[in-house]
Structure 1
């Protein structure tokens, strides 16, 4: 498969996984990295990172009220997170970074809360990009490192 095809596929899966929680980008990246040559590592990380963050922009706007959020449980979790972000605005950036990097609290819910709290969009995007880049670099590195450790 060509570099462009891998990049576009990864980007597309990442965008979809950003808005559809049933699609797991980490599992995709683990599999793609396990099958990919070393030259594909950086394109996988970049495509995954950009796709996820671009996809999260839709959730950010959903949280801001521009789009309708389904489900009472999700709305309740969003309201709790929104209250925390408004009470401690400086913690908002740190919360987004930790969530984007570790996945806890769930990045999906934190993204909605960031929109609801009217967090500065460039700040949200910046800390999201850094957090996702770190996370996906680790995810993509695992199969590559395992390949070196485990004899063929």
Structure 2
């Protein structure tokens, strides 16, 4: 079974689900879980606000907003990556070669977008995207 896109983001919710009642005081701020992938991307780096990253040749890259910056993921190997806690608007870039595609899929692994090779940066709403699938075939 694919990993859940959205993990629980508050200790209060966890405490209630386990029958233990709220685990934090009412009104307390609890941070959302940091975005991640399974399997792991080739690299995952947090960039504070205003920073930038280059998507090198042969990689597909994605940024996901988080706190005062964003996590930047670099993917190298073909295959399907399950996304956890990818929320909000970010950027995707496909610097793969030979026409390889970066396919965006929903929770049912149905393609809802495709980023062709050579796209240096395009805005993406990550909310409906649950998987990134890198393929050798073009969009």
TM-score by length of 1: 0.25
TM-score by length of 2: 0.26
**Higher strand proportion:** 2
- Tell which has more relative contact order, 1 or 2 (C-alpha 8 A, sep 6+): 1
